[in-house]
Amino acid sequence: MFGSNAQLRTIADAYAGSDGAARFVRDFVRVWDKVMMLGRYDVRGDKRYAPMAA
């Protein structure tokens, strides 16, 4: 499957290297945080943040 798709093959080779586990964890955490924060409008520091009415 990866042999026929150049992009998937490149990603698989990058994570299969000697430092692949550390790289995978770092990338996974970064992407997971980004995805989880996309729908959050109540987080300070976000340009979309507005104080909620009391």
Q: Which DSSP string corresponds to 1-54?
A: -GGG-HHHHHHHHHHHSTTHHHHHHHHHHHHHHHHHHTT--S-TT-TT--PPP-
Assigned domain for 15 exists: yes
Of 28, 6, 4, nearest to 15 by C-alpha is: 28
16, HSE (Cβ side, Cα atoms, 13 Å): 7
Number of domains in the chain: 1
Assigned domain for 16 exists: yes
Q: What is the pLDDT of residues 20-49, one digit of tens each?
A: 999 999 999 999 988 888 877 666 655 555
Assigned domain for 17 exists: yes
Assigned domain for 29 exists: yes
Assigned domain for 48 exists: no
Decide if pLDDT at 11 tops 60: yes
Determine the pLDDT at residue 52: 55
Assigned domain for 6 exists: yes
Assigned domain for 42 exists: no
Assigned domain for 52 exists: no
Domain that holds residue 11: 2-37
Determine the pLDDT at residue 15: 92
Taking the alpha carbons of 29, 34, 40, 48 in that order, is the dihedral positive or negative? positive
